[in-house]
Structures are given as C-alpha cells and as structure tokens.
Structure 1
Amino acid sequence: MGLNSAPEEFRWSLERYHDAIEKGVLTELDKVELLFGKIIPKMPVGEPHADVLSDITDFFYEQFGTRFKYRVQNPVTLPNDSEPEPDFAVVERRKYNRSTGHPNAENIHLLIEIADSTLEYDRTSKMEAYALAGIKEYWIVNIRERQLEFHAEPIIAKGIYGSRSVHEAGSRFTSPLAGELLVDSMLPEV
C-alpha cells in the first residue's frame, strides 16, 4: 500500500469468524452476523417483529409439523464468507452441530426476513447473498408497508432472483414450498 492509497478493508474469512466465536472474542452478546466477509451488527427485535416471527413459526409448525426443521434467528452458512442469521429458516430435518456445521444452501428450503428497520439491507445485501447461494425461496415480510415480497428462481451468477412479486395485505400468494397463503397470516395485527 502506497502513501496515497486508501487502506484495504479487512475481510473476515468464515474460518476466522468461527475461531473468534470459539475463542470467545465474539459472543452471543455481540449480536452480529457475517456477510461478504464483513461483521454486521444486528438490529434489536421490536414487538411487531417478535410477534410476526412467532406467528410465522406457528404457521409452519401447523402446516408441516416435523417434516422440516425450523430455525429462528440462527446462523446459516453460505458461500462468499457469509454466515447470516435470517429471522426464519426452513431447512432439512437433520442434526446440525459442530462437526456437521450450520445448514448450508443445499439444506435450506426457504429463508424469511422480517423487515421493519432493516428493509433496505434485506432487499440488497441479504437478497444478494441468498441468491448467490442459490436459496430457492426468500421472503421479506415488510411490516411498515404491510406487504410480503416473494423471491424465487435464483440466478446464481448474477446474485439476483429471476422471479419477484410484492403482495399486499388482504391478498394471497403461492409459494412452491408452502402452497397458497394469505399475506395477512404473515403480518402483525393492526
């Protein structure tokens, strides 16, 4: 690096991130996630967000029972030095532990982010990470606008989704995984 050049940004590898967690440098109190080699602070969960997350969890348990494993705000391991903690994940039913690791793109059927203060981040960085990983379905529950944004058909090479639709409160949409759903079942009560 020369005198007139900007310093390079430090990138965390997945291995270094895991080492920092294992050695206690990063703890559960830190409330962070790794995305594209950057440690990103997570936002606190407010009342509407927590309520929607509970409703989504209940819905999937009622709909599918133990057919899948449901992870609430737990890490998933993705390519590009990313280990985000989506609000809700529907993954293959199997054990995930230190030796097998967190679920990865091959084990994930659906990721859901609940957006109140994180909408832009969920629509950009998170969506790109999920599309690059080939996550089949990605939903954003937009609390403020009372909408559900549905993303499917990832175009891995471009980091985008080929299919995107926005569904308003009162409408229905069809998910390849969950079938036909009423958007209101994923939104907080007014």
Structure 2
Amino acid sequence: MVTLPIRHRFTVEEYHKMGEAQILRERTELLDGEILEMSPIGLLHAACVSYLVRLFVLRLPSMADVRSQNPIILDDLSEPQPDLAIVKYRDDFYKGGHPIPQDILLLIEVSDTTLKFDREVKIPLYAVSKIPEVWIVNLPDRNIEVYRDPVAQSYTTVQQYQGGESLSISTLEGIVVSIKELFGF
C-alpha cells in the first residue's frame, strides 16, 4: 500500500498569522493554499514595474488607485501580489482590508523569468476569481498578452499586442495606451 503525504493548505488568515509571528521572512505569496517563495526582482523587471506605476498614476489620477506589488485577496486560500493592480478608488486606500475581486479593474504581471508560471498558475487563479482583465507584460518578446472575459479557469478572449498597436482597458472608459508607450522605460 502506498501512502501519500497529506498536504496542508493554508488559509489567508493562517498566512497572516505566520507573517505577524515573523515565521515568513522571505517574499512570499499564498496561492491556492500553498506558500510560495517569490523570485528575486531583477533590474529590468523592477524598472518596468516602476515605469508602469508612474504611467498609470499620471493617466488615472482620480479614476482608480494604482497599487504596486501589494496583496490582493482572491478567496480564503489565495493572496497574490501582482506587479500592478488597478483597483476602484477608495478614500481609505484599502487600509481596512486588501482589495478583493470586485474591487479589481486590471491586474498586470510583468514577466521575464516567470512567464510560464504566470500563464499556467496565476492566470487560471485570476480567471476563477473573475478578475475582468489581466495583462502579462512579456519582457523577452516585448509584447502584451491581454486576458479578458473569465470563464472557469481561463479567459475566453486572449489577445497579443506588439509594436505600433494600442490597447484599451475594458473596465476604464477612454483609457488607451500604445505598446510603444508601455515599453517606454
């Protein structure tokens, strides 16, 4: 008889208690109950995230809040830290609790070494949580992958933008950015 080890899945509440007790010292994310150590942030990745934060803060001064590498709560078992989260504006800046799926207008993951992980792990989690729109900034190929219309563990609309193309944020009327502008750092 083969005995398989029992895997314990942590809740967001348990994850927070471990953080408060300083059990978790590295940069981590809670995804589907598993605590994952995050990759170190490289120079190109950091520059891209900083640039995108500046770009969107200037474009969305009062429409939304731009959060960078801060937690969002998808459900009781998942608290990822997307590179950018554009969320509904709140006067309290979410000090009473991290944004939840209903607050999220757009998530952006900047991918260089994490492209496969972002596509195969994070995108399905975001789809299950009905995040309306997710962008992957694909640094190696210099394009933007846009995921819209979540159904189950995937998105029914997946498009790739590059070069001289422009794209809009489906949840924010009138906001259009060019791919050239997104890679302007």
What's the TM-score, normalizing by structure 2?
0.91
Gaps of 5+ in 2: none
The answer for the alignment partner of 1:161 in structure 2 is 155
Deviation at 1:80, TM superposition (A): 5.2
The answer for the alignment partner of 1:175 in structure 2 is 169
The answer for the alignment partner of 1:47 in structure 2 is 43
Q: Are 1:184 and 2:174 an aligned pair?
A: no
Deviation at 1:45, TM superposition (A): 1.3
Measured in 1, the distance between the counterparts of 2:40 and 2:62 equals 29
Given candidates 23, 26, 30, the residue that maps to 2:24 is 26
State the Cα RMSD in Å.
1.5
Measured in 2, the distance between the counterparts of 1:126 and 1:13 equals 17
Aligned pairs for 1:105-184 within 5 A:
105-155=101-151, 158-176=152-170, 177=172, 179-184=175-180
Residues 169, 45 of structure 1: alpha-carbon distance in 2 compared, 3 angstrom cutoff? farther
Contact 1:14 1:81 in 2 (8 A): yes
Secondary structure of the structure 2 residue equivalent to 1:21: helix
Secondary structure of the structure 2 residue equivalent to 1:77: coil
Secondary structure of the structure 2 residue equivalent to 1:4: coil
Residue type of the alignment partner of 1:121? F
Deviation at 1:119, TM superposition (A): 0.2
CA-to-partner distance for each residue in 1:148-176, whole Å, 9 max, x for gaps? 00011111xx2111111011233222321
Measured in 1, the distance between the counterparts of 2:105 and 2:113 equals 25
Contact 1:55 1:185 in 2 (8 A): no
CA-to-partner distance for each residue in 1:136-157, whole Å, 9 max, x for gaps? 11000000011100011111xx
Q: Are 1:36 and 2:36 an aligned pair?
A: no
Deviation at 1:10, TM superposition (A): 2.0
- The percent identity for this pair of structures is 33
Secondary structure of the structure 1 residue equivalent to 2:70: coil
Measured in 1, the distance between the counterparts of 2:55 and 2:118 equals 22
Measured in 2, the distance between the counterparts of 1:101 and 1:150 equals 27
What's the TM-score, normalizing by structure 1?
0.89
